[in-house]
A and B are shown apart, each in its own frame.
Chain A
Amino acid sequence: MRPRPFFLWFFLPSLAAAVLLVAALGEIAQYAFRVFTPGSLEVGGFTLDNFARLARPIYLSVLGDTLLISLATSLFTLLLSYPVAYAMVRAKSDFLRSLIMLLAVTPLFTGEIVRTYAWILVLGSNGFVNTVLKSAGLIGAPLGLLYTRFGVIVALVQFSMPVMIIILATALAHVDRNCERAAANLGAGPAQVFRHVTLPLTLPGVVSGTVVIFAWTMSAFSTPQLIGGGKVLMISNLVYLQGLSSFNFPFAAVLSLLALAVAMGSLGSMHPFVSRLELKAAIN
């Protein structure tokens, strides 16, 4: 084969980025095996104690919460985003399509902190939801919406929706409408067409979107930090507390590696399930 030096120029930056990433991960990994000395920035000799500490209930609980919140966020984001993406792709009017697109994507440009603060105003004791419910006489005392898993999931779902909508819209736009027309001609109603044709054909997008949002949420920091108010912790928050508050870089490194391993393990374990699902959809 003839060498193609032109493509080498594309390969070199990737290689440089990969080397830097591996070096950074290597540095984190070596910290994980070092002794932490309170009151000093220097780490000591080799130890496995940092890993043994992970068995304490608090860390298992935070890990469980992180997985639960990530799973719930990806599923609710999917359920809420699919209709929006469907309406956006299938709208007959160009204006309506553009309007939905604009409304769906605009939140991406407001930034995570701004959006999170907006949710604090909505979910707070004197926030929008409680004020409306109190005015309607439905509640006597404010509902505790902030500093709960519910509040964190609501904010993360809204934060994730624009990305999911874009992924699903791409999948929906690639559906061959003739397949849907053929099903309709054969007597299928709109619900049946959606269930047996549209949904299976968009399954790759559904799966990609869910996996992306799951992995993204696993590393969420600002939203659980602000909406959770320390009452709901995810792994990233623990890394921050250990590394930047306690200067315990070895244990922060262990938590970072755990987060990485869990994210990769979760995505890996999803793979066989996803393959079966796609195969089943293809057969149907």
Chain B
Amino acid sequence: MALRSAAVLAIGAMLLATAPVRAQDKLVVDIWGGNFRDGANEAIAKEFTKRTGMPVEFITGGTIDRLTKAKINRDHPESDVTVTTSHVGALYVSEGLFEKLDMAKLPNAKDLFPVAIRSPYHIGLYSYVYTPAFRTDLMPPGYDIKSWKDLWAPEAKGKLGLPDFDPSHIIIAAALLAGGNAENWKLGIPLLEQLKPSIKAFYQSDATSQDLMKSGETPVQVLLSINAFHQMQQGIPIKIAIPKEGAVVGIDAIGIVHGTKHLEAAYQYLNIALDPEVQAKLCGIYRCGAMNEKAKLDPELAKLPGVFTTPEQWKTQAIVVDDVTRAKLLPVWKDWFTENMMQ
């Protein structure tokens, strides 16, 4: 009997002892799955563990799933660090889900392009562009895209594919062509209505964007540069344009979850993620642009359109919209787009 009591006590003590240790001895990062998780693991997490001895666990999910979970679990956060699209990051900020950053704890932040500081709560990790691209073998000889206006050309009629989940790129482009900007986007409405006959289909994800391009269903697309690079590597003849008005920049950002129990470790993770070498490695995997100006990207990657490596490129080729503006206007744009452009 005594032996049994001792065994029960020992097991109980073990359970009590191991539970808090397991909760404390790892950093939890929430991020998208697939290549995003693998890339972050390879470039950032391994370096973090090497330097700190602390393992990293990834929780994966879609953008909205993770935001919803973060909101529900705000009092008991499941993760310590979050990687998300920067304008969705603005929603995390407005909901009080991110810690305010102490930049003194992020020495690598001093070398970032100014555009990387998205807010006092979240920082850009890497960039990409949404820009026009086309299949050179399926469009008439001589067709080229020098300006967003070329999407309105007769050659593109009935051939254009656009994302259905985010119409901001084409709306911003139309506004710029009409002499406006993101805030007074309605100036571009007449142009957008003229574009309707050119649209063949709307894609719902990166996968469907790639399918539509590969099959030639929509040989002209406004697409994510990373997807086009991937398809070009597969031998699909795609030309990515950086229009004279610029390409619409997307930035994936990183923030520290409010209420994390691993604040110092989270700062270390962020600082390592912004390290020039880590940035170069991460961008080599994702085929994207680094946020740290000192990152030495592979020359083949650096020369790709939409991979900005100099302040001059950011100034002349990038259309950057403030995250809060984008987060507030995206639902408005989406509503207008669904009601007037789709179907």
Contact = CB atoms under 8 A, between A and B. Distances in A.
B153 interface: no
Count class of interface residues, chain B: 35 or more
Contact of A125 (B90, B215, B328, B343): B215
A226 B95 CA distance: 33
Contact of A241 (B200, B334, B340): B334
A241 B164 contact: yes
A110 interface: no
B185 interface: no
A126 B215 CA distance: 7
B31 to A, nearest CB: 18
Interface in A44-100: 56, 58, 61-62
Contact of B329 (A38, A40, A56): A38
B334 A124 contact: no
Given A120-B211, A124-B217, A246-B334, A41 B71 contact: yes
A215 interface: no
Given A38-B331, A39-B327, A41-B95, A233 B215 contact: no
Contacts of B327: 38-39
B208 interface: yes
B330 to A, nearest CB: 7
Interface string A119-149: 0100011100000000000000000001100
B237 interface: no
A245 B201 contact: no
A125 B91 contact: no
B216 A230 contact: no
A238 interface: yes
B233 to A, nearest CB: 22
A217 interface: no
B183 interface: no
B5 to A, nearest CB: 36
A40 B87 CA distance: 12
A147 B339 CA distance: 17
B75 interface: no
Contacts of B25: none
A56 B340 CA distance: 11
B331 A230 contact: no
Q: Which of B64, B91, B204 has the most CB of A within 10 A?
A: B204
Given A41-B67, A41-B95, A124-B217, A233 B342 contact: yes
A124 B90 CA distance: 39
A124 B219 CA distance: 13
B342 A146 contact: no
B338 interface: yes
B331 A246 contact: yes
Contacts of A248: 331, 334-335
B91 A39 contact: yes
A232 B342 CA distance: 8
B339 A229 contact: no
A39 B90 contact: yes
Contacts of A56: 339
A246 B164 contact: no
Interface in B215-246: 215-217
A36 to B, nearest CB: 7
A270 B184 CA distance: 49
Contacts of B71: 41
A69 B215 CA distance: 27
A22 interface: no
B164 A245 contact: yes
Nearest to B204: A225
Contacts of B166: 245
A229 B94 contact: no
A104 to B, nearest CB: 29
A147 B343 contact: no
Q: Which of B211, B217, B339 has the most CB of A within 10 A?
A: B217
A229 B202 contact: yes
Contact of B202 (A61, A146, A230): A230
Nearest to A127: B215
B334 A39 contact: no
Contact of A246 (B91, B330, B343): B330
Contacts of B217: 124-125, 146
A231 to B, nearest CB: 6
A248 B331 CA distance: 7
Nearest to B63: A244
13 contacts: A38-B332, A42-B95, A126-B216, A146-B217, A225-B204, A231-B201, A233-B342, A241-B164, A241-B338, A242-B338, A245-B166, A248-B331, A248-B335
Given A38-B328, A226-B208, A248-B334, 4 more contacts: A125-B215, A147-B200, A231-B343, A242-B334
